[in-house]
Amino acid sequence: MVIPVRSFGSGKTRLQTLLADDAREGLARAMVHRTVSLALDSADNVTVVTANREVARMARSLGARIHLDPGGGLSRAVGSAVDSKSGPWAVFHSDLPLLTASEVTTVVGLPPGGVLVPSPDGGTPVMGGVRHGFPFSYGPGSFHRHLRLLPEAHILTSVGLALDIDGPSDLIAALSHPRGAWLEEVVGAISGRSGIA
């Protein structure tokens, strides 16, 4: 199982209207910690792919392996980590706040043909397969590109696998879901919090 993480401090810029810089970093840190911990409880051989020392330090402290991000973007990073393994693989993004252990187990079971999960905006927050040298194609509209490459894939649509935090509406949806109760303390610094509850 591969979990790509760039860093805690970069990214999530679309959340600037809701969260100050330190709150965005805290949210990213909490989601990575939770996702990696769930993965380690539910799967063997969990690898975090990153070039960031702080991320690597956290992942190692939790018990995950580290694969050095070679640079060149998410698709290359994930491909490099997957190709360093043998056998079936699964890739989970780190920003899945509603993810459960049973959902991890379902994906890691990897039925024949692989697994694809579409996000609400057409991305691919979770996928799995058996083919190495797979041409990952992340970015806008990646789900349909990946589906063309894995036409026999099982499509899963559970909320814990599909809802990744990219923009304000994603965070609001996660906070509104019963599984998102743990986020309340993490995002307590949201500007006008009462206005988006």
Using one digit for the tens of pLDDT, what is the confidence trace for 119-178? 999 999 999 998 889 999 999 999 999 999 999 999 999 999 999 998 889 999 999 999
Using one digit for the tens of pLDDT, what is the confidence trace for 66-112? 999 999 999 999 999 999 988 899 999 999 999 999 999 999 987 77
User: How distant, in Å, are the alpha carbons of 24, 55, 77, 96, 110 from that of 165?
Assistant: 11, 18, 20, 7, 24
Q: d(Cα 107, Cα 112) in Å, to the nearest integer?
A: 11
Each domain of the chain, given as residue ranges in start order, spans 2-196
**Where does the chain have alpha helices with state H?**
21-42, 53-62, 74-83, 101-108, 142-149, 159-162, 168-176, 183-186, 193-196
* Top CATH class, 2-196: alpha beta
